[in-house]
Structure 1
Amino acid sequence: IMEYVTDQLVECICDEIAKEELKLFTSHALIKAQAEDYVRNNQVRLILEPIKKRLLTSFGTQEIENKLKKLLSTLHRDTPEYAAGNILNLLIQLDVELRDYDFSHLTVWQAYLRGIKLYNINFAYSDLTRSIFTDTFGSILSITYHPDKNSKLFAIGTATCEVRIYEAGIPLTICQGHKDWVRAVAFSPDKQTIVSASDDQTIRLWDITSGQCRQTFRGHTGQVYSVAFSADGQTIVSASDDQTIRLWDIASTQCTKILRGHVGAIRSAIFSPNKEIIISAGDDRVIRLWNTATGKLYQSLYGHKGYIYSVAFSPDGRTIASGSEDQTVRVWDIGTGKCLQVLEKHENWVYSVTFSRDGRIIASGSEDQTVCLWDISTGQCIRTLSGHSGGVWSVAFSADDHVITSGSDDQQVLSWDATSWQRLQTLQGHSSRVCTITMNKDGNMIGSGGDDQMVRIWDIDTGTCLRTMQGHTGRIWSTAFNIDGTTIASGSDDQSIRLWDVATGLSLKQFNGHTGRVYCVAFSPTKNLIASGGDDHTVRIWDADTGECLKTWTAHEKRVHCIAFSPDGTTIVSGSDDQSIRIWDVSSDTCRHTIKTQGGRIWSIAFSPDGQLIASGSDDQNIRLWNASSGEFVKALQGHTGTIWGVAFLQDSTSLISSGDDQSIRLWDVASGQCLHILREQFRVRSLVSSPTTYRIASCGNYEGAITLWDMNNNTRIGNLKSERPYEGVNIKKVKGLTEAQKVSLMVLGALDT
């Protein structure tokens, strides 16, 4: 019967569109935008797709679009009906570019616009109730549910520096104030506030209703990876890259205890349900148990063979779960300290573990893009939830255990029914942040890549985007032109390196071999070789013509973040999380020098154009210069007040530029080590590059996707390169049916309230 009714509906709708006489098309929604994902996907499959196919048997795509445009112009203003939303959904189904449409003063109900680009669409005075849009968050680093079983609130911490609070998938509140990634979020036991921890080294307490920051806790000297409330809501525990755990009194914001003992970053720390114990874990592969009252360490648990990213207590406080870089989840007895189970199913690092509220299931999220659900009594994986296209950073159960929600590097929040495993909801984010820029040897083109997984080629003189290349399925961390500027290479979270033709934008090759994110790529200036480094601690050398991996160097002990060829192509230098710089001989396959810097992780590295010096930037806020032949330390350039993300020599080798967390670009005299000039930005400057032929430089790092051009002859900003955002030019003046948080998000993505 349902099949018959659906067929009749499809036939009637097609007939109404063909005759341009609307009845059912006006009175019935073809899909329900806010329905559970599996319901809406079925509606698209059973209704929208057959309508499209049937219309295409009689009309061409352009003719259908013209009919829908004509019907749109006949709709009644300010009248409650579904026609406008149906038109939008049909145009999307037809893959029509949505540009310059006028929906002003119309009721636009049930339009599903997540992941859809809208350019110069006029929604002024429209009613957008129950329509769904893309959100502004980037990677989802943390998720937490409201503790009330009757509440549908959950919060996320994002790579766009925000805490966002949702109810049933609709953004209610945006908490803004952090200046870097928000690594952890947690609701207070009294359900009135939420606490967050950030890479900006602060912890903030927010009012759930207003989104206002009530308190800021300062004291950590490194990224804060974890934060949690005690059960009585009076104390916060935090864990940081500075190798400390801190306890904070909420009323006074004072740090009451500092716990030391870990060696390396501490990724996770939480209270036991009775507040008597704190468990912590991190890069030293050890789980530590502390007495909350005394701050004394009383037990250490060994067994993991990689960084431990997450620990969780069972609701009864008797069991611990931990997730690690070694791809396992381990379950521990807190009384004996013994490992009860090793849960193996994931194929990559485990970032997040959590217990269901009834204590029967553990959920784990992994870099392998899946969520695994484990039966604690048997240790068996009872379900694997797929759907993400990036690593899963966080996973959480709702307070009633009915819903499982995960957040990922793919800028999506996915929710599943915990009984049927049906997908209930997808929240789609968008971040335009540019993470990497490179310049060709002529200094007239820039290549860029970032959070939106696109490689772009820009004409510096005109400011236009010449090519946009799609293919990666993860954030792009690094780009590099070959010597003649005809090819650009890109390295990505998706563990691949891709080569692209600059003239056509076509993908030429894909190199696979890394077993983690690819953070850096570089072309040899003399041969058709590519060097790369990444999460798997390796430096790899590739034949750019064949795609063959010629060499794999494994001397680094941690992630390789940066790499560079010497000007003559005979030497490669690499920098790593292991605080070392290694100088490699390309022909002999040997590491000539290992430099132990003692200055924290190495984020950026560069050869001087004359090949005599190497510059490095690191966590300790210093730029260091090294003799490229001997590896000996030459001098340190001091002045930055945060991590240094970028270093580059200007063309004459006598000047150096640098950038970092302190939102500055600095120009240095290499000989004297003096800072000659400081350029100020409003965001941390993630990447910078200098022209080989002029004194122009480019920098990037903000979340609006802009690349800034500077003239270093007179130290001035000369322009911006910026791609179109998903809702560029969309008019939302006096729209109805959106929360204030939704309006803010739309404007960040390009919409105008004018």
Structure 2
Amino acid sequence: MIRELELEEALVLVKRLLGRGELNEAQKAVFRGVWSRQSYQEIIDAAAEHGYYYSLGHLKNTGSELWQALGNRLGKRVTKHNLHEVLAHYQQTGNGSGAILRHQDWGDAPDAAVFYGRSEELTTLHHWVTQERCRVVAILGMGGMGKTTLAVRLAKQSQDAFQFVIWRSLLNAPPVEETLKEMLQFLSEQQEVDYPTSLEAQVTRLLHYLRQHRCLLILDNVESILQSGSSAGSYRLGYEEYGLLMQRIAETEHSSSLVITSREKPRDLARLEAVNSPVRSFTLKGLALSESRAIFQSKGCFGIADSELQTVCEHYAGNPLALNMVASGVQELFDGDLAELLPILHEGWLHFEDIQDVLSRQFERLSAAEQDVMYWLAVNREPVSHSELAADVVSVPSKQQLLEALQSLSRRCLIERNEKQWSLQPVVMEYVTQRLIAQACESIRQQQYDWLTQFALLKAQGKDYIRQAQSNLILQPLLECLLSHWGNCKTIEDQLKALLEKQRSAAPLQPGYLAGNVLNLLRQLRADLSGIDCSYLSIWQADLQDVKLHNANFAHAAFAKTVFNRTFGTVLAVVFSPDGEKMATSNANGEIHLWRVSDGQCLLTCQGHTNWVRKIAFSPSGSVLVSASEDRSLRLWDTESGRCLRTLVTDTPSIFYVAAFSPDEQTLVSGGDDAIIRFWDWQRGICLRELRGHSGWVLSGSFSPDGRLVVSSAADETIRLWDAQSGKCLRVLTEHRSWVLPVLFTPDGQRLVSSSLDQTIRLWDVQTGQCLHVLRGHHRWVWCIAVSRDGRLIASGSEDRTIKIWDMEGHCLRTIRGHTEQLWFVSFHPDSQRFASCGEDGTVRIWNVQDGKCLKVIRGYSDCIRSVIFDHSGQRLISGGKDQLIRIWHGPTHQHLYALAGHTGSVLAVSLHPDGRTLASCSEDHTIRLWDIEQQVCLQTLNGHSGGVWSVVFSPDGKTLASGSFDETIRLWDAQTGACLQVIPGYVTKTGLISFSPDGVHLAAASNNRNIHILNLQDSRQSYYLEGHVNWGRTATFSPDGQLLATGGIDETVRLWDLTSRQCIQTLTGHTGWVLATAFSPDGRWLASASCDHTVKLWNIQTGECVRTLEGHRNWVWSIAFSPEGQFLASASEDETIHLWNWRNGETLTTLRSQKLYEGLQLNGATGLTTAQRLSLRTLGAVESVPESQLEPCMSAQVS
């Protein structure tokens, strides 16, 4: 007889089956209700009692998706009627437990192949973690004692006792939040996406997994986060929360183990340690005589007497690293005869208290070239090749001398070699880094620039994660050293700038890193660099991204390996050339950039499109690039010159979302908003064939590798396979439940991969059309996917701001974070070892597939303005935009007054309280902020939404604040206290804006289900929706008398609704792009609408006539607002401007724009910049005397 499961048992089983850490509230409500045999209406009523309001359709869809997901995992159909039986049978037959799956992430754990002795220590530690199940074990000892090697051996020997093993090194001092998130991703099998906001809650979440599974966590080099020069075990400033993490793991009941290695015991563990405590520490002593002998023998030192060896071992405390160095020295200096070393030891010349003694003496014996190499290896912080070092070092005359220095250092056991790369051991790296910082500090204090000319303290063009480590572990400690000397930041700033002046006077344009170091230090110090004079200086490895250089002077500067922001905001697509040497990106400005992959330099910019470029693709030869744009054209570009070869348009203008070449490069396939797939002879500009069958926008299309098939996907939720020769539709795949975005062939042509707004990725068999796997894990729309060239991996990017790497069996291998807003595109490099991503946050990122580390970030800069309103006096305008600021402008004088900072994502909407003083803002960072705009302070931050907040509005009486989010909820807040009063799920998504009726009783919400929801806030039973738009709604605005509602959507129409009859009384047509905003004039006689077509239109409410079209913006118009008296209209745009209009005559009164990032930056005579860089810097405000007409269309980067 099969035992009936209890509800909580069943919930745990379901979460394990679906691989989810937690179900959302709607899923839990449906599951609990159905398990208790409630009807959907009963579930709705029960949820309402707890403050959750669901529509019937929303809950039915939630249930259907849940049963389908369970069915896919169980291999049988699941319904609400057989749920009890299926889960009980699964549990009872043993399938519910299954074999223990072992998951391991060794991070950058070193190879422990060379291992001397330590058998007793290993036995004790193994017993502690496997048998006694100690929660925290600390392996302690001085540097070089072999703690890391022992920890690796312990983990390898103990791994079979644990379901999860994860190794992380703290050598580069990652923030605790980063370490926690990596652990949560791994232990949740990449399912964790929306992390708790507080660190305490994140640790609690980690403990949930430590109780659920036996996990072995290893944190190596913990001393890197401990404070030097203070009481032992104290944490560095900013790293104290690691103590909370260790304390919670130590004090909470679970069967997992945390192993740490450190040179000193963290003070939290010292307090918790006891004989029978689950917290233990083990201090390593020196090696025994036999183990020490093995080290000397490995260096060729044989025939050593026990007494001689004993003397040396006692002198060096049996330290393995010290003995290694000594053995190398004995072999090199005394031909392996240890006896010759003993007189020197007896005379006290080689005093030893710590490994630092040995390192210091070794360092002093090095040649200048060897010391330089050691410094550069410390700067690079990971293994580097000979050629990379040669590119860094300026003081070693030849590559041969560099190689000789490397070989010499290797013989001295100071550096390690691995696969043609060189690196330092952690203890050596720390010593050399400290020496580097001390030398830099002294040079700055003494105003001596020569030494700082030889070494870059930060490599601006290096890998992103290394650049972060250099910032944290070199620049910041150096500034702290200077602060301890001078006592204030202003003196540091003055002294650094004085160094620039000193070099310019004594050695203008001297090659080297001084100016780059100074600029990077000033950036780290957050100093104001406006007006800084860097003329006639060599600017090497300077990171000038997101640095305001207003009126700075870089005239006649020599740039090399310096990084600036680029002139783009939202990046919509990224692809690699077939040879992997170039990368192309497209953006919301209508531009296409080509980049050199090796160093991230922009080679050229293709300009010609006048609207967003959604898709780009290289031809198989890489010589041509095709682009598909919302300006209703396809363009073909020469990838060498950037010249537009041809423009393709349809007879009936259509927005293009699809463009792809055939394998033979002769044919182009396209698709767009007219639901037609077209084949083109692109060289002649002729449309060869039109394929019809889709009933919605065609969003993706591509040829099979052999060119015989074409696959397409569309907003009609289907995928279609076509015969490329005949144009016949061979198969329709219909299992996605929302728009199907990209669909791709695998390289062997046997399978398809698709992603959808239904949050899933699916793998299909091309021959049968069968869905092979459903990949679940993203918690928002999955906008993009890519398949590696070797056919082994899938990358996916989502609205949830994560990238996931999957294998072809549907297993999520890794979840990668870094983007701060939604992903638009991912693309694998041809080597299948790297991939690129781009998104709404204006960045392009290149990642390492193996470890998920970010290798390079290319940052755009945009002051795109998303929202604008007038204050109640009509004298001031308030705007919010992509620069994360809220700006206050004085209308009559057109002056920017001040800005409010605090958001960490784009500011998407602002709303002014009836009191005229309190402002609400909402953002992509998931928060709402309340501000006092007179005092210019943030009053409070409202948290609760789990997605970007796209709309915020005060009720007419000012008591309530409403917000709409991409998390598919509307929230009502107490405007005074900030308390969340109500959560209304299932009505609004990213596309929708909300507004209050003038009496405050109703709330209108535009939605992606084509309906406009009218919510009665006093009686939810009186809520209803308006049907009429044929695609997603975007905006909904009440008329001043509350009798009408104006709505707009991506069907390019404005609709007027009579709210008494609930009927659409007029459909206003004329826009040629999505309608993004609507606004009634204060007297209610006129309606304004803003669109993606760059225009604002004015409509007569009575007649429906378009009385005026306001033209002047160069990109999407996101927001519009009438002044309180109705005389003026303000519009905010993607083109970074606010236009103030006299809307009655169409006159532009003024254009408001914030100061650009590099406004007034002088570049006259500067060298080392590509043409693309110069044009970009000019666009961002830089000035130089060379006219653009004299710049070459393409120029390679010049580097010294």
Q: CA deviation at 1:92?
A: 1.1
Q: Deviations over 1:200-219 (max 9, x none)?
A: 23221111122222222222
Q: CA deviation at 1:587?
A: 1.7
The whole-number CA distance in structure 1 between the counterparts of 2:702 and 2:1033 is 30
Q: 1:571 to 1:69 in 2, by over 3 A?
A: same
1:622-633 superposed matches below 5 A: 622-633=1053-1064
Which of the numbers 119, 122, 125 marks the counterpart of 2:550? 119
Which of the numbers 475, 493, 496 marks the counterpart of 1:65? 493
Asked if 1:155 is matched to 2:587, the reply is: no
Q: CA deviation at 1:484?
A: 1.9
Which of the numbers 727, 732, 743 marks the counterpart of 1:300? 732
- Whether the aligned pair in 2 keeps the contact of 1:537 and 1:560 (CA below 8 Å) is no
Which of the numbers 376, 391, 395 marks the counterpart of 2:822? 391
- Whether the aligned pair in 1 keeps the contact of 2:991 and 2:1032 (CA below 8 Å) is no
Q: Deviations over 1:231-260 (max 9, x none)?
A: 111122223233332222212223223333
Q: 1:549 to 1:332 in 2, by over 3 A?
A: farther
The whole-number CA distance in structure 2 between the counterparts of 1:521 and 1:528 is 14
Q: Which residue of 2 aligns with 1:165?
A: 594
- Whether the aligned pair in 2 keeps the contact of 1:441 and 1:693 (CA below 8 Å) is no
Which of the numbers 494, 502, 507 marks the counterpart of 1:74? 502
Q: Deviations over 1:114-140 (max 9, x none)?
A: 232222111122111211111122222
Asked if 1:652 is matched to 2:1083, the reply is: yes
1:522-537 superposed matches below 5 A: 522-537=953-968
- Whether the aligned pair in 2 keeps the contact of 1:534 and 1:560 (CA below 8 Å) is no
- Whether the aligned pair in 2 keeps the contact of 1:145 and 1:155 (CA below 8 Å) is yes
> Counterpart of 2:593 in structure 1: which amino acid?
R
Q: Which residue of 1 aligns with 2:436?
A: 9
Q: 1:750 to 1:88 in 2, by over 3 A?
A: same
The whole-number CA distance in structure 1 between the counterparts of 2:475 and 2:828 is 33
> Counterpart of 1:692 in structure 2: which amino acid?
P
Q: CA deviation at 1:80?
A: 2.0
The whole-number CA distance in structure 2 between the counterparts of 1:305 and 1:267 is 15
> Counterpart of 1:365 in structure 2: which amino acid?
G
Name the TM-score, length of structure 2 as normaliser.
Answer: 0.60
The whole-number CA distance in structure 1 between the counterparts of 2:1121 and 2:615 is 32
Q: 1:301 to 1:467 in 2, by over 3 A?
A: same
Which of the numbers 442, 467, 482 marks the counterpart of 1:40? 467
Q: 1:273 to 1:504 in 2, by over 3 A?
A: farther
Q: Which residue of 1 aligns with 2:562?
A: 131
Which of the numbers 2, 24, 31 marks the counterpart of 2:451? 24
The whole-number CA distance in structure 2 between the counterparts of 1:520 and 1:203 is 34
Name the TM-score, length of structure 1 as normaliser.
Answer: 0.93
> Counterpart of 1:20 in structure 2: which amino acid?
Q
Q: 1:194 to 1:103 in 2, by over 3 A?
A: same
Q: Which residue of 2 aligns with 1:701?
A: 1133
- Whether the aligned pair in 1 keeps the contact of 2:862 and 2:882 (CA below 8 Å) is yes
SS at match of 1:50: helix
SS at match of 2:1046: strand
The whole-number CA distance in structure 2 between the counterparts of 1:194 and 1:237 is 13
> Counterpart of 1:130 in structure 2: which amino acid?
K
Q: Which residue of 2 aligns with 1:491?
A: 922
SS at match of 1:174: strand
Q: Which residue of 1 aligns with 2:685?
A: 253
Q: Deviations over 1:261-289 (max 9, x none)?
A: 33333322111111211222233332221
SS at match of 1:113: coil
Q: CA deviation at 1:514?
A: 4.5
Structure 1 alignment gaps of length 5 or more: none
Which has the larger helix fraction? Answer: 2
Which of the numbers 322, 340, 344 marks the counterpart of 2:754? 322
- Whether the aligned pair in 2 keeps the contact of 1:204 and 1:214 (CA below 8 Å) is yes
The whole-number CA distance in structure 2 between the counterparts of 1:620 and 1:305 is 21
- Whether the aligned pair in 1 keeps the contact of 2:582 and 2:595 (CA below 8 Å) is yes
Q: Which residue of 2 aligns with 1:688?
A: 1120
SS at match of 2:493: helix
Asked if 1:263 is matched to 2:692, the reply is: no
> Counterpart of 1:5 in structure 2: which amino acid?
V
1:138-217 superposed matches below 5 A: 138-148=569-579, 151-168=580-597, 169-217=600-648
> Counterpart of 1:248 in structure 2: which amino acid?
W
> Counterpart of 1:15 in structure 2: which amino acid?
E
> Counterpart of 2:689 in structure 1: which amino acid?
K
1:493-532 superposed matches below 5 A: 493-532=924-963
Q: Deviations over 1:587-632 (max 9, x none)?
A: 2224555332245443333222233332233445443333232233
Q: 1:67 to 1:354 in 2, by over 3 A?
A: same
Q: Which has the higher contact order (CA 8 A, sep 6+)?
A: 1
Deviates more, 1:463-472 or 1:331-340: 463-472
Q: 1:623 to 1:477 in 2, by over 3 A?
A: same
Q: Which residue of 2 aligns with 1:97?
A: 528
The whole-number CA distance in structure 2 between the counterparts of 1:291 and 1:79 is 64
1:653-672 superposed matches below 5 A: 653-672=1084-1103
Q: Which residue of 1 aligns with 2:776?
A: 344
Q: CA deviation at 1:28?
A: 2.7
SS at match of 1:735: coil
Structure 2 alignment gaps of length 5 or more: 1-427, 1186-1200
The whole-number CA distance in structure 2 between the counterparts of 1:744 and 1:374 is 40
- Whether the aligned pair in 2 keeps the contact of 1:570 and 1:585 (CA below 8 Å) is yes
Q: 1:740 to 1:392 in 2, by over 3 A?
A: same
- Whether the aligned pair in 1 keeps the contact of 2:1113 and 2:1133 (CA below 8 Å) is no
The whole-number CA distance in structure 2 between the counterparts of 1:516 and 1:63 is 43
Q: 1:309 to 1:676 in 2, by over 3 A?
A: closer
Which of the numbers 1176, 1188, 1191 marks the counterpart of 1:745? 1176
- Whether the aligned pair in 2 keeps the contact of 1:539 and 1:560 (CA below 8 Å) is no
Residue correspondences, number: 749
Q: 1:9 to 1:329 in 2, by over 3 A?
A: same
Q: Which residue of 1 aligns with 2:1147?
A: 716
- Whether the aligned pair in 2 keeps the contact of 1:519 and 1:533 (CA below 8 Å) is yes
> Counterpart of 1:263 in structure 2: which amino acid?
S
Q: CA deviation at 1:741?
A: 1.0
- Whether the aligned pair in 1 keeps the contact of 2:441 and 2:482 (CA below 8 Å) is yes
Q: CA deviation at 1:512?
A: 4.5
Deviates more, 1:456-465 or 1:736-745: 456-465
> Counterpart of 1:322 in structure 2: which amino acid?
S
The whole-number CA distance in structure 1 between the counterparts of 2:1099 and 2:815 is 53
SS at match of 1:118: coil
The whole-number CA distance in structure 1 between the counterparts of 2:530 and 2:891 is 26
Which of the numbers 792, 806, 811 marks the counterpart of 1:360? 792
The whole-number CA distance in structure 2 between the counterparts of 1:283 and 1:122 is 52
The whole-number CA distance in structure 2 between the counterparts of 1:285 and 1:227 is 20
Deviates more, 1:165-174 or 1:206-215: 206-215
Which of the numbers 668, 674, 698 marks the counterpart of 1:242? 674
- Whether the aligned pair in 2 keeps the contact of 1:521 and 1:532 (CA below 8 Å) is yes
Q: Which residue of 2 aligns with 1:231?
A: 663
Deviates more, 1:597-606 or 1:481-490: 597-606
- Whether the aligned pair in 2 keeps the contact of 1:510 and 1:547 (CA below 8 Å) is no
Q: Which residue of 2 aligns with 1:369?
A: 801
Q: 1:259 to 1:508 in 2, by over 3 A?
A: farther
- Whether the aligned pair in 1 keeps the contact of 2:1028 and 2:1064 (CA below 8 Å) is no
Identity %: 39
> Counterpart of 1:62 in structure 2: which amino acid?
K
The whole-number CA distance in structure 2 between the counterparts of 1:125 and 1:202 is 42
